[in-house]
Amino acid sequence: MATPSSERQAAPAPSEEKNEQANSSQQNQWQLGLLWGLLSPLFLGIVPILAKVAYAAGVNVLTVVAFRTVIAAVFLWTSMLLFKRELVRSSLPAVISSMIAGAINGLGSIFFYTSLTRIDASLGQLVNISYLVFVTVFLRLAGHTISLLTLIRTLLTIGAIYLLTRGGTGPADWLGVGMMLFAAITYAVQLVLSQRIMMDIPAPTMTLYAITAMAMVVTVAWFFAPVDLGQVSTEGWEAIGLMALVTALSRLTLFLGVKAMGSIQTALLGVFEVVVTIAIAAVFLGERLTLVQWLGAAVLLVSIFLVRFEKGVPRFIDWWQFLWRRFLPKK
């Protein structure tokens, strides 16, 4: 029979139990973050295909952008008010910062969808995935260190975009590619900002206010060139409705992934966006990449995965402190 002293020796120390619980909690958080990080590019990869379907149904670009975002915002607000009303309330600074990030992404979305009226969905998604490199660049800029590897990766990305654009079967559309590149930059900005913002606000709450700001920006743009909504076909509204649902789910899973894993790790999983888009575009839209474009895609992927060898990249930047030091006058 065990003595009381031996039982005390066999029992784990309270500190060890706490460490085990903390490690288990971190592991569960990482696994859940991985799930969100994989679902986000799945949803995002479908969006360009649905946009092409809407364009083929005769819907103009601003109508697609505006109403898919407005419907997504209505969907989120309805869901929150019905099931998670406590997540609607937050501090004013957190709400404003979420809306700033969303407004930046809303501006980028106009360029994203306008670009898709000029270039193939598969090419557009390959150019857009360059945001993965810009995430590292922005984190390094805030940390005041630009490494040689970051410069090499940036040059590789520029070279890859050149091959992707020039290597097509038709004339190169530099304007369309430039629009998509601008969209990628704004998306990277939102991704990096969101990690800091979600220190003060839950991921669903940030999603709600970010998409609300996106809807406001794109609606203002739509009013500059409104169309008769009665002329939009049933097929067009169906595509817009599906885009709205996918948009809401993609943003929610994106921010959940960033909160659990950080902006760089979540961004790396975004490579699957390209796989999803290229596969669906090949089957349903008949799009094909040329040999030169496949080479450009390979160079781009090398640039992205070289992030594994980046040293000293800040995982997190306290943007408020950074802006305070840079732009506010010192006493």
pLDDT in tens, 39-98: 777 887 888 889 999 999 999 999 999 999 999 999 889 988 988 888 898 888 888 989
Q: Which of 269, 248, 258, 131 is nearest to 199 (CA)?
A: 258
Torsion on CA atoms 179, 184, 185, 190, rounded to nearest 10: 130
Q: What is the pLDDT of residue 39?
A: 77
Query: Are residues 136 and 153 in contact, defined by beta-carbon separation less than 8 angstroms?
Result: yes
Q: What is the pLDDT of residue 69?
A: 92
Predicted pLDDT of residue 330: 54
| pLDDT confidence of residue 3 | 53
Contact yes or no for 316/262 (Cβ under 8 A): yes
Q: What is the pLDDT of residue 27?
A: 63
Structure tokens at 114: 């306008």
User: What letter does residue 309 receive in the DSSP assignment?
Assistant: G
Please name the residues in contact with 203: beta carbons below 8 A apart, sequence gap of 6 or more: 252, 255, 256, 258, 259
> Quick one: pLDDT at residue 287?
85
Give domain limits for the chain: 41-327
The encoded tokens of residue 120 equal 């193939």
CB 139 within 8 A of CB 311: no
- pLDDT at position 235: 92
Region at 147 (left for phi over 0; alpha for psi -120 to 50; beta for the rest): beta
Contact 43, 220 (CB under 8 A): no
Question: Which of these, 166, 138, 169, 136, lies nearest to 153 by C-alpha position?
Answer: 136
User: What does the H/E/C string look like for 231-250?
Assistant: HCCHHHHHHHHHHHHHHHHH
Give the span between the Cα atoms of 312 and 320, in whole angstroms: 21
Please tell me the pTM assigned to this model: 0.76
> Tokens 């700033």 sit at which residue?
100
Token pair, residue 181, equals 């590149």
List the chain residues with pLDDT less than 70.
1-31, 33-34, 37, 142-145, 258-270, 312-331
Angle (nearest 5°) at CA 204 between 202 and 210: 100
Token pair in block for residue 308: 């594994």
Handedness of CA 255, 261, 262, 266 (dihedral sign): negative
Distance CA 297, CA 292 (A): 9
Q: What is the pLDDT of residue 275?
A: 78
Cβ–Cβ < 8 Å for 45, 272 = yes
